[in-house]
Copies of this chain bind each other. A is one copy, B any other.
């Protein structure tokens, strides 16, 4: 084998090495269907941390994929982070108590959640998302700022703000077993 053939062979090897590195791309680009999910004790909830502070070192945002079975709901709660919902499937109801009463949330406004819609929660407003559709799952992408989230949970809409139970920190992704290759 002459020098140039050898060189060609080396270059071909190099390209294979690069292709191999690229196939590791699956580690950087993660299949959402293969991510771990958990209900975190909420009946009918499936929570997947798409991008998280523990799993991926995020400090400023987290992204979750949550699926609510018919009848499933978040707790009544508030937090001081920004929160955006993007509805991927299904319908439901948003209950939102604007911050008018200083002592307790009070009776919330009801907003129908439509398919292919988006809504956000004003900072510190008490809210609840409920899959009020009896036959279809509600699937949403949730974006929050400044993880880990610090949540105040209410038993009902008349519970005083001062009695709301603090949960902090909530590392949603803490218990998820993820292959290390998911990391850069």
**Number of copies of this chain that the complex holds:** 2
Note all chain B residues with C-beta closer than 8 A to A8. Answer: none
Write the chain B residue with the least CB distance to A94: B29
A50 contacts the other chain (CB 8 A): yes
Q: Are A184 and B122 in contact (CB under 8 A)?
A: yes
Interface SS, A side: strand
**Does any Cβ of B come within 8 Å of A162's Cβ?**
no
Interface residues on chain A, size class = 35 or more
A58 within 8 A of B: yes
Q: Select one of B60, B114, B118 contacting A145, CB under 8 A.
A: B60
Contact of A31 among B60, B82, B114, B141 (CB under 8 A): B114
The 5 closest A-B CB pairs, nearest first, are A25-B111, A60-B145, A51-B84, A29-B119, A60-B82
Residue contacts A-B, CB under 8 angstroms, 14 given: A22-B109, A26-B114, A29-B117, A29-B118, A31-B117, A32-B118, A33-B116, A51-B143, A56-B120, A59-B82, A60-B81, A61-B84, A63-B84, A143-B143
